[in-house]
Amino acid sequence: MITHLDTHATLKTLANIKKHAPGVPVIVRTVDDANLDKLQLAGASEVVPEAIEGSLMLASHALALVGVPMRRVIRLVREQREGRYQLLRDYFHGADDDTPAELDQERLKSFTLPSGAAALGRALHELALGSREVQFVAVRRANGSVSADMADPSLLGEGDTLVLRGLPRALALTEDLLLRGK
């Protein structure tokens, strides 16, 4: 995480991180999103602007205090975050998975392949995801490149992040298969 208030210092730190550890994901905190594109182009995995997070918190308190049901407040805040933070889309979508209706909702799931994962060294087309009721969305390679082509012949490597779509149970079983081969 980089929490400099100075964008120039943040860009310098990002450059050093990308030079010495290009596979390390970096979260950058900023005051606002004025330099969002510049920070993402420099290699930030995610940019979290304080002003937006503070505004979301103020809005949620105001809505709750005027009587808006808490589930609705949480849903509204979650929707704003889903649209803003790529990294957290899966987490917030399933924030209240305990309801039967949520268990039947298709969602995105992303996970990074660790060392020793069963899927390492295999091409995407070898995974037979369709037979598991899961659709491939994209893969972000450890080097930062992104592909949405299931026919991409490149082999999966440690640190690659797969993004899949499906129902929670099918996604969990597929993740287990990709990680453990079961």
Q: Where are the domains of the chain?
A: 7-93, 105-180
Provide the pLDDT for residue 85.
63
- At residue 54, the pLDDT reads 82
Cα dihedral: 53, 56, 60, 61 (round 10)? 60
What single-letter amino acid sits at 39?
L
- Its pTM stands at 0.47
Q: Please calculate the CA angle 171-80-15 and round it to the nearest 5 degrees.
A: 80
pLDDT digit string, tens, across residues 121-165: 998 888 877 677 888 888 888 887 888 888 888 899 998 888 888
pLDDT at residue 46 greater than cutoff 60: yes
Domain range 105-180, CATH architecture:
2-Layer Sandwich (3.30)
